[in-house]
Amino acid sequence: MRILLLGGTAEGRALAAQLHPDVEVISSLAGRVPDPALPVGAVRIGGFGGPQGLRRWLAEHPVDGVVDATHPFAAKMTATAAQVCADTGVAHLVLQRPAWPTDGAIVVRSDTEAAAAVAQHGFSRVFLTSGRSSLAAFTALDAWFLIRVVTPPSRDLLPQRHRVLLSRGPYDYDGERNLLVEHDIDALVTKNSGGAMTRPKLDAAADLGVAVVMMDRPTLPPGVVAVPTVADAVDWVRSLR
């Protein structure tokens, strides 16, 4: 049995590890970060070239199923996989970790809405953890930013007053609390990524009374089957036999 596993997440790597070697897993990474954490088994790197490209790839590499374990905010890849699998009749599953609770957070739908919320509330010392692709929305704001990203952002996207912190999770509570205190942060901006690896910032923010601006997840394409855990995805793959 052979599976295409759209990855780029810890869950994707865990699923590859649990299926390998009884199931032939081809993990696919977007190739956004240099030196990515690699799953076990075969790996291909780079975009497919939209729905047409994925359709071509699947014709050349027949699989028994596609598991989409991309990040909850990787909406384009998720839409492409759902559409192509529906069109071609390939079994398709989304593995998506549960969202974080949003109690007390200012919930927004996009990076632009998050930036507007920061301006409206007059936050002046902001911990920005929503990733490089959301930076442009904050560039013109008159606040100081602690910007945590995996790869260096281009200079023209950076707000005037900032510090860039290059790092990759997981993070622990004490480290996150220290960052918030040391930089006198009054608001944390985050995507609702879910999962334990980057959650401690929320716990530290709650304990310190730091406001949280949380970007809501994009909705999944209609009709897709989604499961919340790696164990569920393993069961789904085994049921394809």
- Report the interface residues with ligand NAP, using CB under 6 A: 6-9, 28-30, 32, 47-50, 53, 70-71, 73-77, 80, 131, 191
Comparing CB distances to ligand NAP, the nearer of 47 and 228 is 47
**Of 31 and 122, CB closest to ligand NAP:** 31
Q: For ligand NAP, give the closer residue by CB, 73 or 236.
A: 73
Residue 113 CA, distance from chain mean position: 18
Identify each DSSP E strand in the chain by its residue range.
Answer: 2-6, 24-29, 42-45, 65-68, 91-95, 106-108, 125-128, 144-149, 161-166, 187-191, 211-215, 226-227
With respect to ligand NAP, which residue has the nearer C-beta, 53 or 228? 53
3-state secondary structure 173-190: HHHHHHHHHHCCCCEEEE
Rounded to a whole number of angstroms, the minimum distance from the CB of residue 29 to ligand NAP is 5
Are the beta carbons of 158 and 141 closer than 8 angstroms?
Answer: no
- Determine the Cα–Cα distance for residues 48 and 57; give it in Å rounded to an integer: 7
Residue 163 CB, shortest distance to ligand NAP, in Å, is: 21
Sign of CA dihedral 238, 217, 202, 170: positive
Using the minimum distance from each CB to ligand NAP, give the nearer residue, 27 or 237.
27
- Pick 32 or 183: Cβ nearer ligand NAP: 32
Q: From the CB of 55, what's the least distance to ligand NAP, in Å?
A: 11
Q: What are phi and psi of 4, to 5 degrees?
A: -95, 125
Q: What is the largest CA-CA distance in the chain?
A: 57
The candidate with the shortest Cα–Cα distance to 38, out of 26, 52, 22, 48, is: 26
Q: To the nearest whole angstrom, how small is the minimum distance from the Cβ of residue 181 to ligand NAP?
A: 26
Smallest distance from the beta carbon of 124 to ligand NAP, in angstroms?
Answer: 26
Nearest approach in angstroms of CB 199 to ligand NAP is 14
Tell me the CB-side half-sphere exposure of residue 182, using CA atoms within 13 A. Answer: 8
